[in-house]
Amino acid sequence: MLGHGVTKGVLALEEILKLQQKIVPELIELLEKRYNILRTIYYHQPVGRRILANNLNLGERIVRTEINFLKSANLIEVSTPGMTVTEEGEDIVEKLKSFIHEIKGLSYIESLLAEKLNIKRAIVVPGNMDEDSTIIKELGRAAANHIRSMIKDDDIIALTGGSTIREVVQCMPKLNSFKDVLVVPARGGMGKDVEIQANTLAASFAKKIGAVYKLLHIPDNISDRALDTMLNEKDIKDIIHSIKRANILIYGIGRADQMARRRGVEPDKLDKLNVLGAVGEAFGCYFNRKGEVVYFTPTIGINNSDIRTIRNPVAVAGGKNKAEAIVATENGNTRGVLITDEGAAKEVLKILNVDLEVDY
């Protein structure tokens, strides 16, 4: 008798994949390996063989063999500056994306992640950003595609800072189809890394989608007295009003210890964060393992109470090391969309005591 999802005499794609994984798993492994090599060349081109081997944690002999195959298949070109992907190779990378997604059972993991975290939707890209730096580009593309589909006329879009959100902005295509869209930084903050500050990213994102933007120049860790003075300024009041009316929020998630140091939190407060059990940080709020806000940086903009009323909050974070922070910040965010990678997703489910040893 034919199984579920199988039409008369024809096996569904997922059934074929299951059979291949059981009977000829080496074919699936080879396909995935060649896809990863091709994708890595694409993101680093032109790239040399040694650098490619280091990025992929593969031996040079293995890489050499695969390069010879990809070259003979006209998927890459090899020149003095390094290897580049051909037009045909780019097409293969794009078409294989959904296939790899199914091979790894990521559709199942997405639905499981959304259910167990009690969020609106999860989008999972293959790989682990901790092991492969190119995965941040996959996260950026996945997030940009999702965000593009949700923007409407008259929207107010708020962005946080960070390297992951910068990748989202860089992956956003040029658009001019929206009217009266405003882009704002989600919170104040002026640190040393200007290129990943919320103000910088808000301006860049606005230019990408043909929108207008407003900036908020208020440093992190400002004193309460100075903050009260700035809040009386008309321009500051105006942008705060716009930020509080945002209906799309795009934000990154960080580990509490790393983000506290990056934000210049004083040593005594770092110790306090450890005592309070802070494990995750998002939009300036620090969360413990139960998802409770135990500390927040004294600046203005989006806070934890606002996120519960924003129509479309979109969190973007990858890497297995971010899993605990993701659970802390996202658990119960019923309107939220989480865009993450395979490494983080599997570790999140492990933390939530979900057994993935199933035949999906």
pLDDT, tens only, 236-260: 889 999 999 999 999 999 999 988 8
Vertex 340, ends 35 and 97: CA angle to 5°? Answer: 25
pTM over the 0.95 mark: no
Q: Which residues contact 101 (CB under 8 A, 6 or more apart)?
A: 107, 126
Query: Which CATH number is associated with domain 106-351?
Result: 3.40.50.1360
pLDDT of res. 183: 97
Q: How far apart are CA 170 and CA 240, in angstroms?
A: 26
pLDDT of res. 37: 93
Each domain of the chain, given as residue ranges in start order, spans: 13-102, 106-351
Residue 162: phi and psi, rounded to 5, are 115, 160
Burial degree of 10 (CB within 10 A; 0-12, 13-18, 19+): exposed
Check for a shared fold between 13-102 and 106-351. no
pLDDT of res. 27: 83
Query: Which CATH number is associated with domain 13-102?
Result: 1.10.10.10
Per-residue model confidence as pLDDT tens digits over 136-176: 999 999 999 999 999 999 999 999 999 999 999 999 999 98
CA 269 centroid distance within chain? 28
Going residue by residue through the chain, which has 360 residues, state the pLDDT in tens, using 9 for 90 and above. Answer: 444 444 444 456 667 767 777 788 788 888 888 999 999 999 889 999 999 998 888 888 999 999 999 999 999 999 999 999 999 999 999 888 888 888 888 999 999 999 999 999 999 999 999 988 889 999 999 999 999 999 999 999 999 999 999 999 999 999 988 999 999 999 876 556 788 999 999 999 999 999 999 998 876 666 777 777 777 888 888 999 999 999 999 999 999 998 888 877 788 888 889 899 999 999 889 999 999 999 887 678 888 888 878 999 999 999 999 999 999 999 999 999 999 999 999 999 999 999 876 544
